[in-house]
């Protein structure tokens, strides 16, 4: 009986977390142009209309371009910065890590208006550039905090060995250090990409008129009801991510299991 | 290993232009009027009931939301902890997956579910219960906040709890502790870092959110985030908006300081 109560509780929490997602997936098959709580019959036509709707396609492309660019630039700047930070004194390192933490701890809306005010102060007109800059800024901490620990863990001996054997600093970095810190770099990049795709608040304040990402387009539709093709697009994105994550989960799940077996014998 | 501090220069430039100068910009705008003269009127604007009420109401809703998330997440962490570490990856997978559906859409889905003719009411009526009419009320806003931020409470708590050595719990039982004492003296203190970090990650966003109250409050509910958004994007004054943001940050810092007092050891790392 106790066990039943336990599984009921866990089940209810996850039901709560997944109920809206189920709703949106159902809505993308509903034969009604704007989402509502009423079922009008089954249709697949919204999935075809994803690609015909110009504003949805534009928003999708903007979202992806900004996410890829900001994650890539943040990763590049962040990894290079971490190498530099390794040479810092203790006090300098503490200071820079505190500054790195600010965007993570600060309220999103405060970060957003602070950037908006700065662009205004320097007469920079809001547009793709300002969105991109802002996204790089809030992605950087994720890169730094994932890469720096890996770099410290890797230590300097392999790098110095490579240098002693005649490799230049750049070659030594790419062939010896980078493979060691790659998991951290990859995590930093993926977290940045995810945060950028899902961001609404910062884009909302730093975008220019007429530029939409998926989040801001959804927000502009929310009063009159979300268009069904938007639900369809989100369903497609969700299912793609689900499949990718499931495949990855089962692959990596198996490899870690193998490792533990080997470690045991 | 590497002796090139200069490599972090581009990053320092990003910190300066993207964090330090922008924060100083808020401070500057909060302290001057439209023509650039020093004034305290923007900070004093919080005394206006039109601003003060939303600030206090946001604090209240954020406290309620954080408390509900904690009450839901703590028992869940205990239950998941016992169900074996082998499933750890899968549990985290299940918690992170919903975040891949845009959070605005998920919030809007609650609007569809909760509306008067919505699915939830249809089910309630079918089993003979009264309709749940909470859409466009603060109850719906709290529900939306709990929904959106619950994973941020569960993840850190679960991550800490799964690392608690079960032999400590067994030792406490062997020494004759009651289940209540085991909870109070063993499990709760050991989970504290996760709880602190979960509370931080839930409180700040629920205190400052404006989209959830706009969507589920139907425009009737004004939180401090809505006020700031209005000052900046819907024809208000940037100076007043900056002033209110400054005051709001002070309130957040006070709440965080109170929280840190609870966390005596300072183990509550956020990341």
Please report, in angstroms and rounded to a whole number, the separation of the first and last CA atoms in chain A: 39
Which residues, including other chains, have CB under 8 Å from residue A167's CB and lie 6 or more apart?
A175, A176
Half-sphere exposure of residue B269: CA atoms within 13 angstroms, side-chain side: 7
Strand partners, A42: A30
Determine the pLDDT at residue A253: 61
Shortest distance between the Cα of A142 and any Cα of chain B, in A, equals: 9
For residue range A160-172, what is the model confidence (pLDDT) as tens digits? Answer: 899 899 888 889 8
Residue B1, chain A, CB below 8 Å: the answer is yes
Nearest to B258 by CA among B66, B53, B47: B66
CA distance A220 to A204: 10
Shortest distance between the Cα of B203 and any Cα of chain A, in A, equals: 10
For residue range A91-135, what is the model confidence (pLDDT) as tens digits? Answer: 999 999 999 999 988 899 999 999 999 999 999 999 999 999 999
Nearest to A27 by CA among A19, A17, A37: A37
How much is the average pLDDT of A188-209?
93
Q: Is a pLDDT exceeding 90 seen at residue A19?
A: yes
Q: Is a pLDDT exceeding 80 seen at residue A85?
A: yes
Burial pattern A156-186, b for ≥16 Cβ within 10 A else e, equals eebbeebbeeebeeeebbeebbeeebeebbe
How much is the average pLDDT of A79-99?
93
Report domain extents, chain A.
Answer: 1-52+231-265, 54-226
Nearest to A139 by CA among A204, A182, A196, A183: A196
CA distance A218 to A34: 12
Determine the pLDDT at residue A264: 30
Residue A103, chain B, CB below 8 Å: the answer is yes
Residues of A within 8 A of B32 (CB-CB) are none
Of B9, B22, B215, the CB nearest to A114: B22
Please list the pLDDT of chain B residue by residue as tens digits (271 residues). Answer: 556 888 999 999 999 999 999 999 999 999 999 888 999 999 999 999 999 999 999 999 999 999 999 999 999 999 888 776 556 778 888 888 888 889 999 999 999 899 887 788 888 888 888 888 888 999 999 999 999 999 999 999 999 998 888 899 999 999 999 999 999 999 999 999 999 999 989 999 999 999 999 999 988 899 999 999 999 998 889 999 999 999 999 988 888 788 777 655 444 444 3
CA distance A150 to B221: 46
Residues of B within 8 A of A34 (CB-CB) are none
Whole-number mean pLDDT of chain A?
Answer: 89
Of A11-15, A45-49, A219-223, which one has max mean pLDDT? Answer: A11-15
Determine the pLDDT at residue B266: 46
Residues B169, B182 contacting (CB under 8 angstroms) = yes
CB-CB under 8 Å, A194 with B99: yes
Rg (CA), chain B: 23
Residues of A within 8 A of B21 (CB-CB) are 118
H/E stretch holding B23 reads helix B21-31
User: How many residues appear in chain A?
Assistant: 265
User: Can you give the pTM of this predicted structure?
Assistant: 0.89
H/E stretch holding B125 reads helix B119-126
Q: How confident is the model at residue A141 (pLDDT cuts 50, 70, 90)?
A: very high
**Dihedral angle, C-alpha A26, A32, A36, A40, nearest 10 °:** -70
- Written as six digits, the tokens of B71 are 């009450």
CATH code for the structural domain at B48-262: 1.10.3720.10
CA distance A241 to B101: 9
CA distance A177 to A155: 9
- Written as six digits, the tokens of A92 are 């300098």
Give chain B's count of helices (H) and strands (E).
Answer: 14, 0
Q: Is a pLDDT exceeding 90 seen at residue A71?
A: yes
Residues B146, B72 contacting (CB under 8 angstroms) = yes
Determine the pLDDT at residue A258: 37
Question: Phi and psi of B157, rounded to 5°?
Answer: -65, -45
In words, the CATH class of domain A54-226 is mainly alpha
Interior angle at CA B163, CA B162 and CA B167, nearest 5: 100
Strand locations in chain B (E): none
Helices assigned H by DSSP within chain A: 2-27, 45-49, 54-86, 90-105, 108-121, 128-154, 157-164, 169-172, 178-198, 201-206, 214-221, 228-264
Residue A79, chain B, CB below 8 Å: the answer is no
Handedness of CA B26, B30, B35, B36 (dihedral sign): negative
């Amino acid at each position: 009986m106790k066990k039943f109560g336990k599984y009921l509780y866990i089940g209810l929490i996850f039901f709560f977390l997944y109920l809206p997602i189920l709703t949106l997936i159902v809505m993308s098959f509903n034969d009604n142009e704007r989402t509502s709580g009423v079922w009008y019959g089954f249709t697949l036509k919204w999935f075809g209309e994803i690609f015909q709707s110009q504003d949805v396609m534009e928003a999708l492309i903007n979202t992806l371009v900004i996410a890829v660019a900001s994650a890539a630039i943040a990763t590049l700047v962040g990894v290079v910065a971490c190498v530099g930070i390794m040479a810092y004194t203790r006090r300098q390192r503490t200071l820079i890590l505190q500054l790195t933490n600010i965007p993570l701890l600060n309220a999103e809306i405060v970060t957003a208006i602070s950037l908006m005010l700065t662009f205004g102060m320097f007469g920079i007109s809001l547009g793709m550039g300002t969105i991109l800059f802002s996204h790089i800024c809030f992605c950087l901490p994720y890169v730094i905090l994932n890469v720096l620990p890996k770099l410290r863990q890797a230590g300097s001996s392999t790098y110095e060995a490579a240098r002693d054997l005649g490799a230049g600093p750049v070659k030594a970095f790419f062939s010896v250090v980078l493979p060691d810190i790659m998991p951290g770099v990859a995590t930093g990049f993926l977290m940045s990409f995810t945060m950028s795709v899902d961001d609404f608040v910062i884009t909302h304040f730093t975008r220019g008129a007429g530029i939409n990402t998926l989040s801001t387009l959804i927000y502009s539709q929310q009063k009159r009801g979300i268009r069904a093709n938007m639900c369809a697009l989100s369903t497609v994105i969700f299912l793609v991510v689900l499949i990718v994550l499931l495949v990855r989960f089962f692959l990596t799940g198996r490899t870690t299991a193998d490792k533990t077996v080997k470690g045991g014998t | 290993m590497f002796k090139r501090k200069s490599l972090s220069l581009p990053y320092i430039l990003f910190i300066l232009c993207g964090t330090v100068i922008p924060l100083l910009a808020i401070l500057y705008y909060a302290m001057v009027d439209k023509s650039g003269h020093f004034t305290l009127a923007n900070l004093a604007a919080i005394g206006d009931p039109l601003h003060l009420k939303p600030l206090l109401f946001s604090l209240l809703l954020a406290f309620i939301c954080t408390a509900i998330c904690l009450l839901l997440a703590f028992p869940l962490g205990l239950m998941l902890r016992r169900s074996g570490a082998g499933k750890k990856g899968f549990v985290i997978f299940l918690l992170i997956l919903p975040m891949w559906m845009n959070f605005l859409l998920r919030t809007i889905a609650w609007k569809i579910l909760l509306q008067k003719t919505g699915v939830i009411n249809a089910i309630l009526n079918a089993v003979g219960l009264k309709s749940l009419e909470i859409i466009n009320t603060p109850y719906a806003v709290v529900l939306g906040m709990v929904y959106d931020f619950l994973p941020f409470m569960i993840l850190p708590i679960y991550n800490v709890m799964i690392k608690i050595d079960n032999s400590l719990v067994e030792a406490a039982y062997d020494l004759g502790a009651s289940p209540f004492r085991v909870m109070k003296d063993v499990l709760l203190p050991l989970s504290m870092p996760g709880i602190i970090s979960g509370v931080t990650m839930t409180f700040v966003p629920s205190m400052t959110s404006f989209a959830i109250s706009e969507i589920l409050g139907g425009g009737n509910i004004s939180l401090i985030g809505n006020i700031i958004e209005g000052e900046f994007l819907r024809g208000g004054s940037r100076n007043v908006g900056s002033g209110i943001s400054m005051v709001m940050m002070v309130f957040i810092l006070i709440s965080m300081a109170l929280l840190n007092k609870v966390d005596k050891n300072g183990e509550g790392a956020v990341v």
